[in-house]
């Protein structure tokens, strides 16, 4: 099973600032990496697939990068609706595995 880790656990950011979230895989997953946003009481929302491709209707302020074992999600200018928990997930192999999440909250 591929183990996913994320850092930091919590990121405090002011609106309008940039947020950089990290995700690491215990072995190479190539570009088979997705990012999700989850708000309280809601299902996760797919943001990024293929490590760097934005899903449909996802704003351009969200960008993903990386390959192999190291990945980054960048939110270029945080909006109020972006404060949430973000998960990375590998889909290189079953079982699919998720990182523990990074909570982005208001500074």
Partner 1 sequence: QLVQSGAEVKKPGASVKVSCKASGYTFSDYYIHWVRQAPGQGLEWMGIINPSGTSTSYAQKLQGRVTMTRDTSTSTIYMELSSLSSEDTAVYYCATGYCIGTSCYDDALDIWGQGTIVTVSS
Q: Site for partner 1 (CB under 8 A): which residue of 56, 60, 80, 81?
A: 56
- 99 contacts partner 1 (rule: CB under 8 A): yes
Q: Which stretch binds partner 1 (CB under 8 A): 7-15, 33-41, 61-69, 73-81?
A: 33-41
Distance CA 62, CA 76 (A): 7
Distance CA 50, CA 33 (A): 5
Distance CA 41, CA 34 (A): 21
DSSP state of 17: S
Residues forming contacts to partner 1 in the complex (CB under 8 A) are 1, 32, 34, 36, 38, 43-46, 49-50, 55-56, 87, 89, 91, 94-101
């Amino acid at each position: 099973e591929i183990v996913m880790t994320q850092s930091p656990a919590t990121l405090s950011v002011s609106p309008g600032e940039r947020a950089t979230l990290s995700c690491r895989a215990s072995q190479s997953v190539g570009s088979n990496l997705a990012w999700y946003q989850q708000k309280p009481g809601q299902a996760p929302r797919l943001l990024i697939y293929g490590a760097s491709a934005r899903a449909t209707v996802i704003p351009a302020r969200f960008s993903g990068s990386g390959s192999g074992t190291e990945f980054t999600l960048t939110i270029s200018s945080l909006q109020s609706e972006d404060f949430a928990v973000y998960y990375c997930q590998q889909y290189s192999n079953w079982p699919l595995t998720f990182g523990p999440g990074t909570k982005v909250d208001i500074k």
